[in-house]
Structures are given as C-alpha cells and as structure tokens.
Amino acid sequence: MALLNLFDATKKQIYSEGDFQAFLDPDFLGFREMQERKVIRKANVATFISSVFGSVDVGFFHLNEGFLSTMAPDGGRLLKEMSKLFLDLKTQVPAALPQCCWFFKF
C-alpha cells in the first residue's frame, strides 16, 4: 500500500490540479522515446488493474477515457480479449473482473 501511495503522490506532483488525470499521458509529459512510452504504458496498466480490483479509486468514466490509450497505445490494435473487456467496461458488467488476468502477459 505504501508503494501505491507513493505512486499517487508522484502523479499529483506531475500534474497540476486542473490538469490531473487518472492515467499518465506520455505526450503531455514530453516522452518521445519508445522505451519511455513503454514505462508510461506499464504504469497506466498498473493503474487500470488496481482500479478494477478496487485498490485505486478511478471511476468508470476515467477507465473508459484511458482504456484505448493504455491498451492500444500509439494507434496499436486491440486484441480480442481487450475488446471484450472494453465492451464490458462500456456496459459496466461485473463479469469483466475475472478476465483481467491476461493483462500480465503483455
């Protein structure tokens, strides 16, 4: 839990109060290198998973807004499993929770 609190505090330092976002934006932060963008993506996936399992308080609105940029960054494709999860998120079906295990395979 201490690591999660440190992560949240760091995000709040990066974004001003008006600009605060649930997910980090590599373009806003000025990250252009592929390796930097991968790190941001992993942080966003961690935020997404933590929020789905209730560790982080991110609502469905923000999950929806950050989904495509997190799961299919830079114009990538959504896999079939991701598309199912996205549809579940859109319809707010609780059955989406057990499907999150595949996130760890990226």
Q: Which helix (H) or strand (E) holds 85?
A: helix 80-91
pLDDT at 95 exceeding the cut of 60: no
Give pLDDT tens digits for 38-81. Answer: 888 888 888 888 887 776 777 777 888 888 888 887 888 888 88
Q: What angle do CA 5, 51, 74 make, to 5 degrees?
A: 100
pTM of the model: 0.68
Q: What's residue 35's pLDDT?
A: 92
CA-to-CA distance for 79 and 32, rounded, in angstroms? 24
